[in-house]
Chain A
Amino acid sequence: MDARALYQQGVIAIREQKDLTAGRQLLLQSLRMEPENDMAWLWLSRALSDPARQRQAVERALAINPENAKAQQLLQRFEAGAHIQTEAVSNGAPNGTPLGAKARSTALLVPVKPKTPAAPPAPGERKQIQIAAYIKKAIAQLSEGDEEGAIEHYVRVLQLQVDHEVAMREAVRYLVKNGYEDDAKELIWRAIDAGTQHPSIFITALDFARRDRDNDKADALRHRIAQLPDAPTDLVLKMSGDLVKEGRYGNADALLREVLESRHDDQKILLAMGELQNQMGRPRESMIYYNRAAKLGVSSKEGREADKRLANFAPVLTDRERGSVVLAVREAAAIGVFFLLLAWQDSGLNVGQINLRHWAGVVLSVLGGYLLVTATSSPQQNGLAALLGGTKPKRKVNADELETRMGGVLQEPTQLPIIPVPVRIVVGVIGAALVALAFWWVFSTSLELLFNPVPPFIPDPFAEF
């Protein structure tokens, strides 16, 4: 076995089987072949019982890779532990007090379990003990080069737990390596048929199906993966990306739709769906998905990316914006501000001379402006639209559907009443008339001067000659 495999087995022994002795041996074997593996030194530190040796192993890992954050963290803990111990001693606290125990447990990293009389294991626990024993044997056999024997033990594990991930992975790997691909498939399908929820097992099955060019089986597996609650988003994206690479856009579309049914708020999937729709030549659909992703927030990378992509489309006008009276009044206020400035100019730039007519003109401009805004850009304001005879749209609309109307502005389907066109025309005409009258009132002096200008002083350009 090569250094890398020994390292992996060692990690499995420590992490999965909690077998520190086997893990230590495997890691030491691996490090003899590849002493520059900082992670192996780090794992070895966990498998050692002597704190001084643990620290040496961590320091060795850091010497190889000073950037290793975990090693840095562990070294800090060692130092903190030493500090606590020093403090405890200097404070006269005897070894074995809670403080001393805390310091030791920090240094050992593995909490010391209190010794209690052994109780007979429960059936589930017994099964786990058996599984751990089989895996340990399999690892030992692999280290001796006996792959067939290891396979046999992994298969025994799978007889106890049909979808044990580690056993499945190792069994399939060595079965395929030794030419027993059909047996590997059988193990995989047995787990799937038993209702496994492990995405990794489905992925292995999918790999087999793709290798066999069995598209139907591959699609069925993708469908199953899409329904898994724990299917990683990146996995879903990879599957859809693979389908796109194969030119099977429709299948990628179906896959992402299926995932989105259960994960409405997954920005990554929404963004991918937007891109897929764009690739499929459906710009409007792609916009819907980008918009959904961006609406979830632009603090994430995907949200910002979706928002950026949306720059290629007109924004969606929503009922919240259409129904807002404040947003409509804001536009009327803009007209009022402009007219106020004009009134001030007309009053000789003296606020004190702004007369009643000017003020009335400003108020009228806001009123007329509001009517103009209502007739043109805000005919669906809450309350007002219904008051002016507005009715709700009769057509039922799909939540995802967008319609293109009013000068190409993309709009979300509306549920708000809209003022009928004839009423809007009347309101608009009244508004325009009020604005014109307001202009007359705020600019009365200037209008008079426009028709009867008073000649100003003009310097003679030849005066200096």
Chain B
Amino acid sequence: MDILLILFFELLFLLLLGGLITPFPISDTGTVRYNSLPWMTITLILINTLVFMAWQFPHLVELMSVTDETQLTNGQVDAIYGYVNQIWTYGLRRVFFTEGLSIGAFSNFTAMFMHADFSHLAGNMIFLWAFGRRLEDACGHWRFLLFYLLAGTVSHMGSIFLIPSDQDVPSIGASGAISGVMGAYLLLFPGAKMTCLWVLIAVLRFFASFVMRLIGEKSEARWTIKLPALLVVGLYIVYDIQDTFNTAQTGEFLGGVNYIAHTTGFLAAITIFLFVRKDLLVRYAAGRSI
């Protein structure tokens, strides 16, 4: 029960912090044209969650009870070893590919489904939910899966090649693939709008609404705001590109985030035209909205 509460507050903290200064997309507002259940997006979210909760999370639960780092129990020491082993064995490392260590190129896939902590997982999955459903509708379920894996693979390759070769730091997370999904969303639906959480604006809105009510005017304040996808995704691209140069030069992950994987993931979005449904592709080529 305590763990569930912790997770809940962690999620709340993520949403508030993530959407404090910049908009945090939580859903798209567009029409899903084929009325199909986005079961591949849901499956991807479930697999990511399952891998984390069933495999990585038990170690983290054990570590939550640490109060004094110098007085660790055997269980806590095992948990630390276990967690580090998982990341350094199944995360993305250049040496696995070049020297044939661990599980070799299979780490391309394992790294894609691993996450460092709960907020890392939750943040990625919210983005996947927000951008993935409509993209899956435009591609079809299996083509969407293939695109997701391809974008993740491209982002991993970009990350391996752009990070200085002397830096052997494992990288994990679905964010490279999800950046591809975001970029593809922007390419296919440039006029779309996203429902975002933007705490700063929400607070201002509530304040304005309060003042309006004080002077007797009707006013309704909302927590969310609809913003053009171009603005939302554009902001992320700008942030990512800025930090990509930093990481490429120093080899350090700023704030523990692999921005190179994000940027190369965005670049992989261009391949979406190989995956989108043929009828939609023809419409798109004719300048019609899809």
Contacts and interface: CB of A to CB of B under 8 A. Distances in A.
B71 interface: no
Contacts, number: 146
B89, B93, B102, B154 pick with most chain A CB within 10 angstroms: B102
Contact of B97 (A298, A345, A457, A458): A345
A443 interface: yes
B50 interface: no
Nearest to B282: A321
A408 B35 contact: yes
Given A327-B281, A455-B102, A461 B149 contact: no
Interface stretch (B12-20, B104-112, B175-183, B247-255): B104-112
Interface residues of B, number: 55
A311 B29 CA distance: 12
A316 B35 contact: no
Contacts of A337: 150, 271, 274
A407 B288 contact: no
A450 B102 CA distance: 8
B256 interface: no
Interface in B140-195: 140, 143, 146-147, 149-150, 153-154, 157, 160-161, 168
A127 interface: no
Contacts of A456: 88-89, 93, 95-96, 101-102
A315, A344, A350, A445 pick with most chain B CB within 10 angstroms: A315
Nearest to B34: A314
A311 B98 contact: no
A6 B36 CA distance: 66
B283 interface: yes
A409 B103 CA distance: 42
A407 B97 contact: no
A333 B274 contact: yes
B219 interface: no
A449 interface: yes
B94, B105, B154 pick with most chain A CB within 10 angstroms: B105
Contacts of B140: 377
Interface in B53-96: 77, 80-81, 84-85, 88-89, 93-96
A457 B85 CA distance: 10
A459 B153 contact: no
A324 B278 contact: yes
Contact of B34 (A341, A408, A454): A408
Q: How big is chain A's contact interface, by range?
A: 35 or more
A123 B69 CA distance: 115
Nearest to B157: A341
Contacts of A348: 97-100
B264 to A, nearest CB: 12
B274 A408 contact: no
A407 B274 contact: no
A458 B88 contact: yes
Contacts of A461: 80-81, 84
B216 interface: no
A317 B103 CA distance: 44
B241 interface: no
Interface string B30-54: 1101111000000000000000000
B104 A341 contact: no
A98 interface: no
A307 B34 contact: no
Nearest to A328: B278
A459 B97 contact: no
Nearest to A344: B157
Interface string A428-465: 00000000000000010111111001111111011000
Interface string B245-277: 000000000000000000000000001011100
Given A307-B289, A311-B33, A337-B274, A454 B85 contact: no
Contacts of B149: 338
B290 interface: yes
Contacts of A455: 89, 101-102
Contact of A334 (B81, B274, B279): B274
A341 B151 CA distance: 11
Contacts of A331: 143, 274-275, 278
Interface of A: 294, 298, 307-308, 310-318, 320-321, 324, 327-328, 330-331, 333-335, 337-338, 341-342, 344-346, 348-350, 377-378, 407-409, 443, 445-450, 453-459, 461-462
Q: Which 3 A-B pairs have the closest CB atoms?
A: A334-B274, A449-B104, A345-B105
9 contacts: A307-B289, A311-B33, A345-B97, A346-B104, A348-B98, A349-B161, A378-B278, A408-B34, A448-B104
Given A338-B146, A349-B97, A446-B103, 19 more contacts: A311-B289, A315-B33, A317-B278, A324-B278, A330-B274, A331-B274, A331-B275, A337-B271, A337-B274, A345-B108, A348-B98, A349-B98, A349-B160, A443-B106, A446-B105, A457-B95, A457-B101, A457-B168, A462-B77
